A and B are shown apart, each in its own frame.
Chain A
C-alpha cells in the first residue's frame, strides 16, 4: 500500500501536509520564507528550523535528536542560499502511532524517522520552498535468523512477528538516487548493511524495481499484486506532486 498524503489543507500555514502510512499519521506545516530572529539570521543563507511534537506529552531528548537529524538532511536539500536572511520553519505534529509501536523492541525514533522525512518534504513542496532535490526514505529491519531476508518498510506487526531483530536501518535517497541519510541501530556486518542498502534503494528509487509491499513477506505466500500500488516511492512522490500541480493549474485549464 502506498502512503496517503493530503497537501495544503491548513489555512494559516504556508504549506502543510498530512501523511498516513502503516498506522503512522503525521501533520506537517511549513512557514517560510518568513522573518528571522536577529540571533538566528545568517547573511548568505536561510535558517531552517525543525520542530517535532510528539502525540503525547511535550518534547523529550528523543524529539530533539530527530530534529537534529531532520535539520541536517533538510538543510542540505533546501536551496537556502536563494532565500538569504529568512527563516523556513518546519513543524511536525505526530498525530498517531501504530498501537504496537512501543512493544516492538526496536528504537522507535528510527521507525518514525522516514515518515517524518516524508511529511516534511511534502509540506515543503506544498509551501513551494526552493529545493535542490526531493527525497524518499525507508526503514529496513534485519531479523536475527541469518536465512531470512531483510524486512523493507515493515509494519509494527511485522516487527513484532520477526522478533528478535538484529539491526534496523533508515535510508534516505535524493531524487538522483544518492544516499542522503543513513541511521543504523544494532549489530551488523558490512555485507548485511549492503544488502539492506540495496533493498532500500530498490523500493525508494530504482526504476522497474520491486514494488512497495512486495518482497516484504518473502517467506509467506501472499499475493500482493493488485491495484493502488506504485512502482517505487519516488514515483509515488511524483504522483502526489502531479496531483498538486494539477489542482493549482485548474484556473489555467478551465479557460
Chain B
C-alpha cells in the first residue's frame, strides 16, 4: 500500500511562511471553518456531511439484544469508524492507521462518554432486552478535519434517527415497524461538537479546521469538544508543540462560538428535513413520542 504522500520541503516552507504573513492558502481567516454542507438521506439516521472537500457519511442502525450483565438498565451504543481506500489510497482495510485510532477514541470520549445519548432510554426490559444502537462512520473523501466532520455527522444522524416503538406486555415485547407506528426520536441530552486547533511555530500560530496540507505541516493539535451551553466535554492534545495553559482558555472561547454556529446550522437543517417529511401536517398526530 502506498504511504500518504508527504508534503515537500518547499510546500512546507511555503505554507509556514504564508502563515507568518497571516495568509492561509485557501484565503480563509485563521479561525474560519470551511463551508459546511449537511444532507439527510431518505431513511432516518443517515447524515452526509461535507466540510470543504472532506466528506463523511454517518449512519445509525438499531437492533434488539440483551444488555450487558453489568449494565442491566442501559442500552448499547457503539460508534464504528473504519477508514477505507475510498478516502485515500494510504488507508488499508483491516489495518487501522493512527488517525483512525485517534478519531475513534475522540468520538468515544466526545459523544459516548459525555452521555450525549441517554442509553437508559434504550432499555426495553431491564436485564433482558434493550436496543443496540450503532453509528457507522464512513469517510468518503479525506481533506483534513476528519474529527470535526465525523462528530457533526454522528450528532446530526443521531438527532435525525427515529427508533421503532415497542409494546411491552410482561415478558413479551413487540417491536412495531415503521408502517404500524410512527417511530420515536432518541433522547439526546446535549449535542457535543468538536473543534480542532492546529498549532504552528511552536504554539504561536493556531488555525481552526486545517485542511490536509495544513494538517501535515502542523506541530501539534488541540481538540476541544463542547456543547452549545458552553460545557467542555473533553480536551485532547496531540503532537509536540507546547501550548500555554492560558491559550487553552482562548481555544475554548473560540470553540464555543464555532459550536454555537454549527449547532444552529444542524438544527436548521433538521427542521428543514422535518418539514419536508411532514406532508399534510399529520406528523403531530402520528407521533408516539411521550412528552419529556
Contact = CB atoms under 8 A, between A and B. Distances in A.
B136 A56 contact: yes
B2 interface: yes
Contact of B141 (A12, A51, A55, A96): A12
Interface in B58-96: 59, 61, 80, 82, 84-89, 93
Interface string A1-44: 00000000011110010000000000101010011010000000
Interface string B122-156: 00000000000010101011110000000000000
Contacts of A31: 85, 89
Contact of A12 (B80, B136, B143): B143
Contacts of B138: 53, 93, 95
Contact of B84 (A51, A55, A56, A99): A51
Nearest to B1: A37
B278 interface: no
A57 B86 contact: no
A12 B142 CA distance: 7
Given A37-B1, A56-B59, A56-B61, A93 B142 contact: no
A13 B42 contact: no
Contacts of B80: 57-58
Given A12-B143, A27-B140, A55 B59 contact: yes
B43 interface: yes
A71 B59 CA distance: 27
A10 B86 contact: yes
Interface residues of B, number: 27
Contact of A10 (B2, B57, B59, B141): B141
A91 B2 contact: no
Contacts of B223: none
B203 to A, nearest CB: 30
A89 interface: yes
Contacts of A55: 59, 136
A110 B123 CA distance: 36
Nearest to A11: B53
Interface in B1-37: 1-2
B42 A29 contact: no
Given A11-B143, A56-B134, A56-B136, A96 B43 contact: yes
B85 A89 contact: yes
Contact of A91 (B41, B61, B85): B85
Contacts of A16: 86
A55 B136 CA distance: 8
A96 B85 contact: no
Nearest to B52: A11
Nearest to B46: A96
Nearest to B62: A56
A27 B46 CA distance: 15
Given A12-B142, A57-B136, A95 B57 contact: yes
Interface in A55-71: 55-58
Interface string A154-187: 0000000000000000000000000000000000
A51 B1 CA distance: 14
Contacts of B93: 51
Nearest to A92: B86
Contacts of A89: 85, 89
Contacts of B43: 96, 99
Contacts of B87: 12
A29 B142 CA distance: 13
A13 B55 CA distance: 13
A11 B84 contact: no
Given A34-B2, A53-B82, A57-B134, 20 more contacts: A10-B55, A10-B86, A10-B141, A11-B141, A12-B89, A12-B142, A12-B143, A13-B86, A27-B86, A31-B89, A37-B1, A51-B84, A51-B93, A53-B138, A55-B59, A55-B136, A56-B136, A57-B136, A89-B89, A91-B85
10 contacts: A10-B86, A11-B53, A27-B140, A35-B1, A37-B1, A55-B59, A56-B134, A89-B85, A93-B86, A93-B140
